[in-house]
Amino acid sequence: MKRAARLVIFYTCLIGLWALLAQLKIWPAYLFPTPWGVAQELYDGFSDHSYWIAIAVSMRRVLIGYTISVVAGMILGLGVASNKFLEETMGGLLVSLQSLPSICWWPLALLWFGLNQNAILFVVIMGSLLSVTLAMEDGRKQMPKIYGMAGRNLGARGFQLFWHVLLPASLPFIVSGLKQGWAFAWRSLITAEMLYVSLGLGQVLMMGRETSNMNAVIAVMILIIALGYIVDGLIFKSMERHLQHKWGLTPAT
Amino acid sequence: MSSNIQNAAGPIPIPVDPRSTARAAGPRGKLGPASVGRSLPGISPEIAKVGLSEICLSYRTQSGERLLALDHINLEVKPGEFLCVVGPSGCGKSTLLHLIAGLHQQTSGQVLVDGKPVEGPGTDRILIFQELGLFPWLTVGQNVEFGMKMKGVSKAGRAEKTRYYLRLVHLSQFKDSYIHQLSGGMRQRVALARALATEPDVLLMDEPFAALDAQTRDLLHDELERIWAETGRTIIFVTHNVREAIRLGDRVVLLTFRPGRVKREFLIDLPRPRVLEDVHVAHAARAILDELREEINRSLEVEYSVGVRPHVVPGAEP
């Protein structure tokens, strides 16, 4: 309750400061929008359904891209972790590739897939795949060996061993990587959407720019932050809590 | 030496070199019928449940030299027998269990179960690891049914057996708890139930009670003995605690320090249930400890090869 009260006070002050600065009219309104302008924009956007559509389109893309990244990343990470040759060769390449912003793939993606949804998905996957792969590789190595041995000892083989033992055993070690992968996927998506008439949130933001509607730009920025935060809070936080409860790990404070 | 403990070789002293012991018909063959402690009705002593023949294991250390860990181990374990293996730390006794479990591969020699060579892990031999290896992401009940699930036992069958084995180890109320919520002794019992639930013929136990307090250990000794009597499993139990070995075993095998060889076998035919503090147990332990102490001193010499050479105080349990 106290925490909630502190949050309310903090955001009230923040918006109050914003309102005050806007009210002082140091900058013209088209450069520095007011809170109520943005609120009106949000209200309009939702009531004419354009924001709902943009959110649905963007979420659908990021879900597809992220799911592919997680599945492929886990397989790739597991492979790299369990093969010395791959670890020495691919391992270093993967780490260096991670310093490349995924939007750098955009020109190639356009050539390979054309100006369509697949190009965006490709950029999203390139953004999050590496995080998941590296997290999985790391998790597989950090995971105590005893679990794999115990699993084999109790008759688990091949896919059974992966699904029932190696995957759950490495989850606490990869959950932060999964989270990071999600953040990268979300950012890559918005970036890619801004470059192309895509119906997603990124494009709505760019439309705000093109029509010099700073209210819309800020409204969409708030939406992007809120969605990222909600997914993090709802999915990853509860996943972490769940794991901590099962494993008896105390939550990091 | 107490009359209750007999050297498996009878009055004839065992040659120091275990290889020559092994080549002479194997340990069982040397036993007169009078020296067999607990008779196992209906089972011919010729059929070994687990047979180790000429097992050698060597591996490369980080500095690149080859280290011989196990040297021509020959051992036969009868069906339903409770065999204890003792030896100083580093003698390869845990490794021996891993080989029987099929988790590691020996360099040469053969592990036979029911006369068939072991190729990889199998649910007929379940190992209880020293660190237990219970799955923290599963509840107690799910841990116990894990092996059955892998085998493809139906849900109803699993539930019934899980209930049975949890009752056997007195953990029925903790079916839905997670592992971290249990005490050390309870975790041991979960590991035991999980191993038993796959219904293995052979139970391999790697110093399972080493980390427990004395009271809990006494309790688990009683329970293990009861479960062994109820289920008739063959148990190979590794420990560094000689009294524990005598408390539980039909036979105690002493391994030498690096490379691990069978130094001696002792037949324990004290009446069951035995009590750790019992004078006969202490007496029997003394005989084995004397032999073990030599090996421990050798291991200390190797480990403290530079500088002082501490010796084990006579009479102290390792």
Q: What is the mean pLDDT of residues B186-196?
A: 87
The residue of B97, B132, B135 whose CB has the most chain A CBs within 10 angstroms, and thus the best one to mutate to test that interface, is: B135
* Chain B interface includes A149 (CB < 8 A): yes
Q: How far apart are CA A130 and CA A6, in angstroms?
A: 37
pLDDT greater than 50 at residue A27: yes
| Amino acid present at A62 | V
Q: Which of B123, B136, B180 sits opposite A154 (nearest CB)?
A: B123
B79-106+115-124+200-307 CATH choice from 3.40.980.10, 3.40.50.300, 3.30.1360.20, 3.20.20.70:
3.40.50.300
| Amino acid present at B107 | T
Q: What is residue B42's predicted lDDT score, i.e. its pLDDT? A: 44
Using an 8 Å CB-CB cutoff, list chain A residues near B101. Answer: 153
Q: What is the CATH number of the domain that holds A104?
A: 1.10.3720.10
| Maximum separation of any 2 CA atoms in chain A, in Å | 73
pLDDT-above-70 percentage for chain A? 98
Using an 8 Å CB-CB cutoff, list chain B residues near A240. Answer: none
**Contact by Cβ (8 Å): B287, B266:** yes
Q: What is the mean pLDDT of residues B198-218?
A: 84
3-state helix, strand, coil in chain B (%, to 5): 35, 20, 40
Q: What is residue A125's predicted lDDT score, i.e. its pLDDT? A: 92
Give the torsion through C-alpha atoms of A18, A20, A23, A29, to 10 deg: -20
Q: What is residue B207's predicted lDDT score, i.e. its pLDDT? A: 86
pLDDT greater than 60 at residue A64: yes
Per DSSP, the residues of B40-75 read -TT--TTS-SEEEEEEEEEEE-TTS-EEEEEEEEEE
* Chain A interface includes B130 (CB < 8 A): no
Query: Quick one: pLDDT band at residue A250, thresholds 50, 70, 90?
Result: low
Give B 141-180 residues with CB within 8 A of chain A: 146-147, 149-151, 178-180
Q: Which residue of B has its CA nearest to A246?
A: B137
Q: How far apart are CA A204 and CA A215, in angstroms?
A: 12
Q: Which is it for the CA torsion A59, A62, A67, A70, positive or negative? A: negative
Q: How far apart are CA A140 and CA B39, in angstroms?
A: 49
Q: How far apart are CA A202 and CA A196, in angstroms?
A: 9
Query: Quick one: pLDDT band at residue B5, thresholds 50, 70, 90?
Result: low
Q: What is residue A221's predicted lDDT score, i.e. its pLDDT? A: 92
pLDDT greater than 90 at residue A13: yes
Q: Domain residues for A73? A: 52-243
* Chain A interface includes B122 (CB < 8 A): yes
Q: What is residue B222's predicted lDDT score, i.e. its pLDDT? A: 85
**Contact by Cβ (8 Å): A123, A192:** yes
How far does the CA of residue B79 sit from the closest CA of chain A (Å)?
A: 21
| Amino acid present at A206 | M
> Strand order in B108-113's β-sheet?
B66-77, B50-60, B108-113, B116-117
Query: Quick one: pLDDT band at residue B58, thresholds 50, 70, 90?
Result: confident
pLDDT greater than 60 at residue B80: yes
C-alpha distances (whole Å) from A23 to each of A9, A13, A19, A35 are 20, 15, 6, 10
ipTM over 0.90: no
Q: What is residue B306's predicted lDDT score, i.e. its pLDDT? A: 52
**A37 part of a folded domain:** no
Pairing between β-strand B202-206 and β-strand B234-239 as defined by DSSP bridges: parallel
Tell if the CB–CB gap between A246 and B101 is shorter than 8 Å: no
How far does the CA of residue B110 sit from the closest CA of chain A (Å)?
A: 19
Give A 157-196 residues with CB within 8 A of chain B: 157, 160, 164-165, 168-169, 171
Q: What is the mean pLDDT of residues A49-68?
A: 90
| Amino acid present at B50 | V
Give B 6-45 residues with CB within 8 A of chain A: none
pLDDT greater than 80 at residue B272: no
Pairing between β-strand B82-86 and β-strand B234-239 as defined by DSSP bridges: parallel
**A157 part of a folded domain:** yes
**A21 part of a folded domain:** no
**A201 part of a folded domain:** yes
Q: Which residues contact B113 (CB under 8 A, 6 or more apart)?
A: B49, B50, B51, B100, B122, B124, B125, B201, B202
Tell if the CB–CB gap between B180 and A154 is shorter than 8 Å: no
pLDDT-above-90 percentage for chain B? 1
For the segment B95-122, what is each residue's pLDDT rounded down to a tens digit? 888 888 888 887 887 888 887 887 878 7
Q: What is residue A68's predicted lDDT score, i.e. its pLDDT? A: 94
How far does the CA of residue B196 sit from the closest CA of chain A (Å)?
A: 11
* pTM given for the model: 0.70
Q: How far apart are CA A27 and CA A96, in angstroms?
A: 43
Among A222-231, B76-85, B130-139, B270-279, the range scoring the smallest mean pLDDT is B270-279
**A106 part of a folded domain:** yes
Q: What is the DSSP letter of A116?
A: S
* Chain B interface includes A248 (CB < 8 A): yes
Q: What is the mean pLDDT of residues A199-217?
A: 85
pLDDT greater than 70 at residue B68: yes
**Contact by Cβ (8 Å): A170, A140:** yes
Domain boundaries, chain B: 79-106+115-124+200-307, 136-199
